[in-house]
């Protein structure tokens, strides 16, 4: 009899180990990473830029108690805010809840995020001396809570986590303007009138943001997105001269991480080939361009992500369905990730987002 008990114990273990293995491998949804690598996936993966935000009643509740930056400084709260849309919407990736401005604090730039305005900089950069004052930082020392949040997420999530930074131009535009801008006049004046200081600023930002992304990956981010939201305001020639070399340097400093590198911009259709040539492995598209034409233009050398107009989220259900289908029909190979062309707006409705996720997951050609 004792043998039988031993045998049952052994059998139990022998069964439990592979079962646990099968369950753990099966439960991780890697469709997003496969699409980033242009490999076949079970379904077209989808996530939304700004999937954690004011359209969610739960997020608005959290914001009553914590400012945006306070959320980032509390790993448990920040991880919960990151996870919530993944659970609610059934998307295939999570994006770390943070802001592109978070790492400029430890570089010596004082800022606040003002409701309905965005980042406001108290000590904007206006000349070479200001650029020299920008310091290098160590994320482990200055932003330890980011690492702690990512470690919680790595344990809790069953989808890949996307880390992110703002690209040098978009960050420089806030740092020089002092806040959001429509014309980017101060930024462009700085760029044209003080090119040496400009390149020094861009070089510092590229170096620091590459380091910060490496930190995020070391803690568990499985892919990274570089947001160059406002770079589309530059001409092709100015992008080539004032931005491109810094982006090449930044992406080449990330290459050995072997994680997908997503490069995203708004109104940047004219810059797409250069945004690919920087070294990105996924290019994000806004709604002003077509998926099929853009992908062809990029020689299918990268995966593409996009590009539903976020304004469509407030349209009637049949229009949402039709516009979603219009995007899906342009996809004829592996390597596509469904997303919006820019972030979700506070007016969006969670049920509409859920319906889009179901439609994309259920799509068969
Ligand atoms: O869910 C996610 O996408 C992750 C969270 C995230 C935030 N900001 C949180 C946030 C991400 C990826 C960003 C990136 C970011 N921040 C960008 C690049 C992407 C883009 O939208 O182009 C830029 C340019 C910023 C700067 C910034 N921060 C802006 C323009 C705003 C909006 C101002 C407003 O009130 O409408 C912010 C504030 C901000 N960052 C919010 C969120 C959820 C707004 C809500 C809040 O204040 O709680």
Rounded Cα distance between 152 and 58, Å, is 20
| CB 181 within 8 Å of CB 189 | no
Task: Look up 99 and say whether it is catalytic.
Answer: yes
Interval 15-48: pLDDT, tens:
444 444 444 445 899 999 999 999 999 999 999 9
Residue 256 structural domain:
2-361
Candidate of 88, 91, 113, 216 to mutate for ligand 1, largest count of ligand atoms within 8 Å of Cβ? 113
In the set 59, 99, 203, 355, the catalytic residue is 99
From the list 114, 58, 101, the residue with the least C-alpha distance to 81 is: 58
- 174 tagged catalytic: yes
Kindly report the pTM of this predicted structure.
Answer: 0.93
Whether the CB-CB separation of 159 and 86 falls below 8 Å is answered with: yes
Evaluate the CA torsion angle 298, 304, 310, 316 in order and state its sign.
positive
Q: Decide: 119 in ligand 1 pocket, CB within 6 A.
A: yes
Report the C-alpha gap between 326 and 293 in whole angstroms.
13
Q: Tell me how far apart the alpha carbons of residues 36 and 104 are, in angstroms, rounded to a whole number.
A: 28
The answer to whether residue 358 scores a pLDDT higher than 50 is yes
Cβ(113) – ligand 1 distance below 6 Å: yes
Q: Is a pLDDT exceeding 70 seen at residue 3? A: no
Domain count, the chain: 1
The enclosing domain of 157 has a CATH number of 3.20.20.210
pLDDT tens for 291-307 read: 999 999 999 999 999 99
User: How many A from CA of 113 to the centre of ligand 1?
Assistant: 9
Q: Which SS3 state, helix, strand or coil, does residue 99 take?
A: coil
Exposed, middle or buried: residue 328 (CB in 10 Å: 0-12, 13-18, 19+)? middle
The residue whose CA has the least distance to atom 1 of ligand 1 is 50
Task: State the catalytic residue, choosing from 37, 63, 126, 290.
Answer: 63
């Amino acid at each position: 009899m004792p043998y039988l008990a031993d045998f049952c114990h052994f059998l139990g273990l022998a069964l439990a180990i592979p079962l646990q293995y099968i369950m753990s491998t099966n439960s991780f949804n890697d469709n997003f990473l496969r699409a980033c690598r242009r490999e076949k996936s079970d379904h077209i993966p989808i996530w939304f830029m700004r999937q954690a935000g004011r359209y969610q009643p739960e997020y608005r509740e959290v914001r009553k108690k914590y400012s945006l930056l306070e959320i980032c400084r509390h790993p448990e709260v920040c991880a919960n805010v990151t996870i919530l849309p993944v659970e609610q919407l059934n998307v295939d990736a999570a994006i770390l809840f943070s802001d592109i401005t978070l790492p400029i604090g430890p570089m010596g730039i004082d800022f606040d995020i003002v409701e309905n305005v965005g980042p406001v900089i108290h000590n904007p950069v206006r000349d070479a001396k200001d650029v020299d004052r920008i310091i290098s930082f160590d994320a482990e020392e200055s932003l330890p809570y980011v690492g702690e949040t990512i470690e919680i997420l790595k344990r809790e999530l069953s989808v890949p986590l996307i880390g992110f930074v703002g690209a040098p131009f978009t960050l420089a535009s806030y740092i020089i303007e002092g806040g959001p801008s429509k014309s980017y006049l101060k930024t462009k004046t700085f760029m044209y009138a003080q090119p040496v200081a400009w390149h020094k600023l861009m070089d510092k930002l590229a170096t620091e943001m590459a380091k910060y992304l490496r930190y995020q990956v070391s803690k568990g981010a499985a892919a990274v997105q570089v947001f160059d939201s406002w770079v589309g305001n530059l001409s092709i020639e100015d992008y080539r001269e004032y931005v491109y070399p810094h982006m090449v340097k930044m992406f080449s400093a990330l290459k050995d991480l072997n994680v997908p590198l997503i490069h995203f911009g708004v109104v940047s259709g004219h810059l797409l080939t250069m945004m690919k040539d920087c070294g990105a492995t996924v290019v994000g598209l806004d709604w002003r361009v077509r998926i099929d034409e853009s992908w062809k233009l990029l020689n299918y050398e990268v995966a593409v992500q996009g590009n539903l107009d976020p304004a469509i989220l407030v349209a009637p259900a049949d229009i949402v369905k039709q516009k979603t289908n219009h995007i899906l029909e342009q996809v004829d190979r592996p390597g596509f990730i469904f997303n919006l062309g820019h972030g979700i707006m506070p007016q969006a409705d969670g049920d509409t987002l859920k319906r889009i996720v179901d439609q994309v997951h259920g799509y068969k050609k």
